[in-house]
Amino acid sequence: MPCTAHYDSPLGDILLAADEIGLTGLWFAGQKYYPAQLPGLAEGSCTVLEQAKRWLDAYFAGDRPDFTPTLHLVGTQYQVAVWESLLTIPYGKTVSYGAIGAITAERLGKERFSARAVGAAVGRNPISVIVPCHRVVGADGSLTGYAGGLNRKERLLTLEGGLCLPTCLKEKG
């Protein structure tokens, strides 16, 4: 039976959704593309939501979770391929939209995809944080686009050690 749950994260309330196959959604409250409603879902507990909460507990504690909850990525063939490409980005690392486009093109047997098309699919990622769309940056390394807000993207990357802010540069220099 499909179910939802809320998770109180250091970055705000998170809505989790799952169906009988796996986790279908993880959204920060108020983020772009936050679901207006999830028909047929009931607030409750199910195994995959408990997996997701354990993953989030470890992640926000600063640990690298050693498992991934069962996922059910629901979207177009292209979107799912982009989201699967996001799962290849290592913890604490960032890649450009162009790099994700190249990985996805290879996965789908295409020559290339534009950074703009990749950005549109990345922005629609329904499973934030676990499917790490926050690790995608502009070609010049700039923080661009994040449905949960750039402040959250920055905090997620800082948590992972993948973002060096001006204060970090002072400490290194």
Taking the C-alpha atoms of residue 66 and residue 128, their distance in angstroms, rounded to an integer, is 17
Which helix (H) or strand (E) covers residue 165, if one does? none
Rounded to the nearest 5 degrees, what angle is found at the Cα of 82, between the Cα atoms of 81 and 86? 115
Cβ atoms of residues 83 and 125 within 8 Å: yes
> DSSP secondary structure string, 80-147?
HHHHHHHTTSPTT--EEHHHHHHHHHHHHT-S---HHHHHHHHHT-SBTTTS-GGGEE-TTS-----T
Cβ atoms of residues 23 and 8 within 8 Å: no
Which helix (H) or strand (E) covers residue 9, if one does? strand 3-9
Taking the C-alpha atoms of residue 73 and residue 21, their distance in angstroms, rounded to an integer, is 10
- Catalytic residue positions, numbered: 133
